[in-house]
Chains A and B, each alone.
Chain A
Amino acid sequence: MENAIEIKALKKIYRDFWNRPKVTAVNGLDLTVKKGEIFGMLGPNGSGKTTVLKLLLGLIFPSSGSIKVMGASPENIGNKKNIGYMPEESYLYGFLNADEILDFYGKLNAMPEKIRKKRINEVLDIVGLSEARKRRVADYSKGMSRRIGLAQVLLKDPDLVLLDEPTIGLDPIGAGEIKNIIKKLKDRGKTVLLSSHLLAEVQTICDRIAILYNGKLVREGNVDDLLTEGNKTEIIVSGLKTGDIDKIKELISGSGGDLISVDHPSETLESLFIKLIREKSGKNN
């Protein structure tokens, strides 16, 4: 499989006015994102995630090392037709409405007028902003701003999507919808690189992850491989009586196993919230 992103020995040092090194934001990073996968970049604040995204987009330039995005340098202008970027906050022009903002970006992406108009309708529908399309973006709520930020990415229909904290500022329903959109992108063969510090979000949607700390790669790999504890076993059973549980405990201790806990599984607060809201609004999915 070809790689969508190849980063080799990447270093980014921010310098002060006198050109003295001030901060090393990325320090010798090697990273590969394969085509067609959802890749999560995890790390605490200041770990270098956003800096990596800026380097991938050519917003800033590496101090050393090399970057290839869809087989070309980040400074390759033509290649950017294939790259979509949703920043951490939706940095968009407040004086324009949703229609105008998407038309503006569609024109920058050299989309013919007919296709542009059709795509704008489609993506506004996908992100649920069709009814607010004539409202100025400055008057949007944070959640709506995030949606329009995602809409400009979907408008391009790029092969590589870079998402910086995609669900920040969204309620659980909105966050769930964004996750569904990300999954659909993968189903259509798109590559997604998302940066987040929300671990649960990354775990549920990513194929592979990289954990960054202080600008360095701490761990990289398949989510299942990294999280599976091979020496432990979880059995989930329904309709069991108290006496049966004691028998199972005896069986485990008899076979030399070490019983860690017997518990009733609980729902996550997020899934409970989504379930309740959907019941109230009459939506099932």
Chain B
Amino acid sequence: MKKVGFHTIYIAMAVFLLLIDCFLSGKTELAQPYWVYLKAVSLSVLVFVFPLFNRRIRTIAYSVLKEEIRKKTLYVIVVFIVLIFGMIHVFGKIAPGNQHIFVSELGLSAMTMFGLLFGIFMASTAIYREMEKKTVYVMLSYPVSRQEIVMGKFIGNVGSVVAFSGILSVIFINSLLFRFGFEKFELMLLYSCLGLMMEFIVIVAIAITTSTLLSTVSNFIFVFIVFILGHMTEQIIHITGRVEADSIKRVGDAFLKIIPDFSRFEFKDMINLGQSVDINTLINLLGYALLYSAVIVSIGMLVFRKREVDRL
């Protein structure tokens, strides 16, 4: 009997969870709140735990982490530290009263920019560069499936981007605590950092999948466009709401279903307005990010399965 591969189980689980989510999405009955928790837990297991049981995926992911550590990532972190302290110093003086809100907002924007560039640069080259440098030739002469390569790269890149944004978050929050003290600290700041991390996971998933097809530059541009469109979902809803033609509305709706809703991950405006989110919203967001990533990476695995690696 033929052994069921790791990727078959992964893809089947991702599709299964997507179908359940689609089925329950319009419903507000009792099942919905439980599903939010179940979705987040099961997807965390599927995305982070299940692949790590595979030794080859672990090996590839670890080598990605090692590569990122040996790159000049440290310099980027130093630039971020200088930027944060510079902002606190300059804007702390010119916005009396609301300095902490002003600096928090700017700091989160800086984190978004740094994390985004780090994530896109790293992930958009992940598979394509393996083909370009032909390192994938040797790797594929080993008992490793193409799907395991995609998954290993994804896990390694997610690990790198989470570690990177985690370090930035610690620097950012600590510098705010140092400057403004505990009394000005809001939990929303921590939630905002977590929201950004989830956003970066989705970006990495998209960049990895498209790097099985697109060159580094095209991929970078593509992911950046998706990032911008993902932040414009509210505007797109607004525009499609005003259009009368049904066909255009349908296209708009389909587009909104495909494009990730990145605006959900950012709480900068809420901090500004003094609003807060509850933990359930955050868990729901985690479920959304992981489901989106799992489905997108599944597509990447299917695409790379039949990719001729010498054709760039």
Contacts and interface: CB of A to CB of B under 8 A. Distances in A.
Interface in A61-114: 61, 77-81, 83-85, 87, 89, 91-93, 95-96, 100, 104-105, 107-110
B142 A91 contact: no
A60 interface: yes
A273 interface: no
Contact of A91 (B59, B135, B308): B135
A81 B138 contact: no
Which of B55, B136, B138, B308 lies at the interface centre, i.e. has the most chain A CB atoms within 10 A of its CB? B138
Nearest to A53: B137
A107 B55 contact: yes
Nearest to B58: A107
B138 A152 contact: yes
Nearest to B135: A91
A33 B309 CA distance: 25
B135 A59 contact: no
Contacts, number: 78
A54 interface: yes
A63 to B, nearest CB: 11
Contacts of B308: 59-61
A87 B137 contact: yes
A201 B143 CA distance: 30
B20 to A, nearest CB: 31
A58 interface: yes
B67 A83 contact: no
A248 B142 CA distance: 60
8 closest Cβ contacts across the A-B interface?
A85-B141, A91-B134, A108-B142, A107-B59, A60-B308, A80-B143, A91-B135, A95-B70
Interface of A: 14, 54, 57-61, 77-81, 83-85, 87, 89, 91-93, 95-96, 100, 104-105, 107-110, 149, 152, 156, 162
Interface of B: 55-56, 59-60, 63, 66-67, 70-71, 133-145, 306, 308-311
